[in-house]
Structure formats: C-alpha cells, structure tokens
C-alpha cells in the first residue's frame, strides 16, 4: 500500500503556490505583456533596436511568458486536485 500523507506544512505550501499563481505572478505576466505590446508599436518606439525588439525579442519573450502562464495554471490545478484527493482520503495531519 502506498503512503498517503499531507501535513499542515504541505497544505500551507500548496496554498502559497496557488496564491502566487492566482494573485501575483500571472498578473505580473499580464502586465509585462501589456508593456511589450506598447513597445512593439513603431508609432511609440522605433529605431534599429526597437525593430529588433518588435521582430524577435518580444515575440520570443511573449511566447515564453504565455507558456509559463499556462504551465503555472496547470500546476495550480494539479496541486488543488492532489490536495483535495489527499485530504478527502484522510491523509491530512
């Protein structure tokens, strides 16, 4: 039989990860996206380096941020399910 254990420390850590993902980190990613869109407008910022930013730097960065945001949401969902499963199975400390 497999061991099932979830201490208050684990429950707290899960809550903290979910809080970071829900409240702060994904909001910060969205804020970065908004600023990147502004900097990608040649009517606002232009020149050789701005063009490089628009053409490669920002699209690559945005793709990485979008992927990170998606993976964080998956992590949050997975932690929530694991936590519910463990506590409903009586593994809470």
22: which residues sit within 8 A by CB, 6+ positions away?
76
pTM for the full predicted model: 0.73
Cα–Cα distance list, 65 to 29, 30, 55, 70 (Å)? 7, 9, 16, 9
The pLDDT of residue 65 is 92
pLDDT at 62: 96
Name the residue ranges covered by the structural domains of the chain. 20-84
Q: Which residues pair with 92 in a beta bridge?
A: 6
Please tell me the predicted confidence (pLDDT) of residue 60: 97
Residues of the chain falling short of pLDDT 50: 92-93
- What integer pLDDT is reported at residue 90 of this predicted model? 61
What pLDDT score was predicted for residue 48?
Answer: 96
CA dihedral for 43, 33, 66, 60, sign (positive or negative):
positive
């Amino acid at each position: 039989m497999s061991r099932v254990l979830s201490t208050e420390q684990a429950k707290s850590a899960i809550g903290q990860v979910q809080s970071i993902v829900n409240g702060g980190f994904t909001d910060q990613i969205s804020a970065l996206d908004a600023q990147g869109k502004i900097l990608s407008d040649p009517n606002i910022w232009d020149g050789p380096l701005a063009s490089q930013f628009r053409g490669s730097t920002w699209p690559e960065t945005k793709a990485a941020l979008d992927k990170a945001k998606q993976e964080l949401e998956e992590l949050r969902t997975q932690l929530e399910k694991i936590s519910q499963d463990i506590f409903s199975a009586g593994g809470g400390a």
